[in-house]
Amino acid sequence: MVRLKKIAEAKPGAVVLREKDLSGEEYLRLARQAKIICEQSGTRLILHNFSDVAAELGADSLHLPLPKLRELTASQRGNFKALGTSCHSVEDVIEAQIIGCTYVFAGHIFETDCKRGIKGRGLEFLSEVCARAEIPVYAIGGISPQNYKSVIAAGASGACVMSGFMRCESPLEYIKTFSE
């Protein structure tokens, strides 16, 4: 939680609490703590994967894999001010918009340790997705201060960063490097 607190205090656009290996109960405990930290810093918290936990905590932001998003009713989806999914094709983006997403993550754009050995989809893919999207698109996968401007130039509204925030000494100083 110390790292999350430092990241939240650095004021990113949002923090996605993604923990794939936890049970719903474990995620609920973690999300309760994360909610307090993010509220104190004024940083949006986006819960991930557990729509029931999001509902229980009264969260206004949820990110789901597209198959799970399809399972929610229109009424359930309407409970969230921010609703997103990860997209890997233009068709995914179009479906996400129809379902009611307010944003999408598109990726993975560059090679990344998270997807070791799998080639990134690249900036051409990102440009195509952004051209077809009517909602904000955030690039994900291998994003760094060195390539951030290229994803913005491709049409992305922003980008998602994980490894850099987890490895840097100071999240506040690290976030500043994206605007240099």
pLDDT of residue 111: 81
pLDDT of residue 173: 96
Within 8 A by CB and 6+ apart from 128, the residues are: 90
- What is the C-alpha end-to-end distance of the chain, expressed in Å? 28
What proportion of the chain, given as a percentage, has pLDDT over 90?
92
Q: pTM for the whole thing? A: 0.94
CA–CA–CA angle 53, 59, 61 (5° rounding): 105
pLDDT of residue 41: 97
Mean model confidence pLDDT for the chain: 95
The 10s digit of each residue's pLDDT in 126-172 is 999 999 999 999 999 999 999 999 999 999 999 999 999 999 999 99
The 10s digit of each residue's pLDDT in 15-53 is 999 998 999 999 999 999 999 999 999 999 999 999 999
Residue 174 confidence (pLDDT) above 80: yes
